[in-house]
Amino acid sequence: MTSTSVIMKDMEKRNLILRWVIALIVLGSLGFSGVVLYYLDPNKSSLYPFCVFHQLTGLYCPGCGCLRALHDLVHGDVGGAFRMNSLLIVSLPLMGYLVYQCHILPPERRKQINEVMSARAVWIIFWVILAFWILRNIPYYPLTLLAPH
Ligand SMILES: [Zn+2]
């Protein structure tokens, strides 16, 4: 075995350990966030950040209701989560797919974000978010259903 192949094997081992450490940190952070969201209700706790856009304008941004939606989701209330931020709930499978393709797959099978999503798909997502932002602030039924309620 040459010294180069020994060095390469050592680097692969370090990369594997680093990947496991990163995975544990991410899973630990997600678990901790889930526990916090489970026990601290965003409707009642002042520990959560407030939406600056909503405070300044009285209008809802595309992210308004996300924490309450996630709180409902960790309690198994998918309907409640959907009422708080339907775009977040609808986009969770896509986000999971992207995380899986770009971060969870082994490095040799992992893809870059531009391999998974075309520029056109990114533009479509942008326009969907913008439309959601505008539509959830129009005070006429059924668009009022898009606002957190
Ligand atoms: Zn907001």
pLDDT in tens, 85-106: 999 999 999 999 988 888 888 7
Query: Rounded to an integer, what distance in angstroms lies between the CA atom of residue 3 and that of residue 1?
Result: 7
Q: Pick 60 or 12 by higher pLDDT.
A: 60
Whether the per-residue pLDDT at 2 is higher than 80: the answer is no
Q: Which tops the pLDDT comparison, 20 or 87? A: 87
Average pLDDT, the chain: 91
d(CA 95, CA 104): 12
Containing domain of residue 65, as a range? Answer: 40-146
pLDDT score at 72: 96
Q: Residue 149 C-alpha to ligand 1 middle, in angstroms?
A: 13
Distance 144 CA to ligand 1 centre (A): 15
148 preceded by a cis bond (ω within 30 of 0): no
How far is ligand 1, taken at its centre, from the CA of residue 114, in Å?
28
* Assigned domain for 105 exists: yes
Supply the pLDDT for residue 1. Answer: 62
How remote is the CA of residue 89 from the centroid of ligand 1, in Å? 16
- Do 37 and 70 meet the contact criterion of CB atoms below 8 Å apart? yes
CA of 54 to the centre of ligand 1 (A): 5
Q: Would you place residue 62 in the very low, low, confident or very high pLDDT band (cuts 50, 70, 90)?
A: very high
**How many independent structural domains does the chain possess?**
1
The half-sphere exposure of 120 on its side-chain side, counting CA atoms within 13 A, is 0
Once rounded to an integer, what is the mean pLDDT over residues 137-147? 95
Q: Is residue 32 part of a domain?
A: no
Closest C-alpha among 36, 69, 33, 66 to residue 51: 66
Task: Kindly give the distance from the C-alpha atom of residue 132 to the centroid of ligand 1, in angstroms, as a whole number.
Answer: 12
The pLDDT, as a whole number, for residue 46 is 86
**Are the C-beta atoms of 116 and 102 separated by less than 8 Å?**
yes
Ligand 1 centre to CA of 139 (Å) is 16
pLDDT at position 60, please?
Answer: 97
- pLDDT-derived band at 10 (thresholds 50, 70, 90) equals confident
Residue 79 lies in a domain: yes
DSSP state of 100: I
Q: What's the gap in Å between 65 CA and the centre of ligand 1?
A: 7
Report how far ligand 1's centroid is from the alpha carbon of 43 (Å).
Answer: 14
